[in-house]
Chains A and B, each alone.
Chain A
Amino acid sequence: QSDLTQPPSASGSPGQSVTISCTGTSSDIGYYNYVSWYQQHPGKAPKLMIYEVTKRPSGVPDRFSGSRSDNTASLTVSGLQAEDEADYYCSSYAGSNNVVFGGGTKLTVL
């Protein structure tokens, strides 16, 4: 069982938008601005997509956006493309030099 709760799956058709939620507590997501999202294709290394709740690293398309409301963070992928099909993991700093991850969401592009 993971510390952060994500839906196991999400899906959308090409061009559509999909939002993946990540629920934590007032001690992690709700307290720190250090929420990140990672994309992982099968057999590959994770890739940082969003950090500090809403920021995108250089090179990440602006179709990817992050937000937060209370203890729940969200990743929205707009204008879905086939290459967006992957597993997505949220993470949050949880204090005392501890980081927690979500269980992952498998995004399917229909």
Chain B
Amino acid sequence: EVQLLESGGGLVQPGGSLRLSCAASGFSFSTYAMSWVRQAPGKGLEWVSLISSSGGATFYADSVRGRFTISRDNSKLFLRVNSLRVEDTAVYFCARVVWSGSYRFDYWGQGTLITVSS
């Protein structure tokens, strides 16, 4: 069974930083691209970042480029979030991506909440 479990969210002041983690199990992690997608309270989904299966390619939404960094190791996905803004407040989901010959988020974690407030 595919499982994705996020952690690392919390309350942080504007300008602060956090490191989100997503522990993956139940599939061959190293063969899948992975993404972070966020959802502000009461709002829709917003794609944040994608990393290739090897980790050699990374991509970001314009709204976070230069402030967020996606990375991965053998079984975990990470998102380093710096220079946080109030508008970054959201639940951050990690998602497995089918990226070759398709583009879909086929499994999602339950999410971790980042609240940016002074």
Using CB atoms and an 8 Å cutoff, list the residues of chain A in contact with chain B: 2, 32, 34, 36, 38, 44-48, 51-52, 57, 89, 91, 93, 97-104
Contacts and interface: CB of A to CB of B under 8 A. Distances in A.
B106 A38 contact: no
A45 B45 contact: no
Contacts of A34: 102-104
A47 to B, nearest CB: 7
B103 A48 contact: no
B102 A101 contact: no
Interface residues of B, number: 23
A104 B109 contact: no
B11 interface: no
Chain B binding surface SS class: strand
B110 A91 contact: no
Nearest to A34: B103
A42 to B, nearest CB: 11
B45 A98 contact: no
Nearest to B57: A97
B104 A89 contact: no
A55 to B, nearest CB: 9
Contacts of B110: 44-45
A36 B109 CA distance: 18
B105 A36 contact: yes
Given A45-B93, A45-B111, A104 B45 contact: yes
Given A97-B50, A97-B59, A98-B61, A48 B45 contact: no
A99 B50 CA distance: 10
B44 interface: yes
A104 B105 contact: no
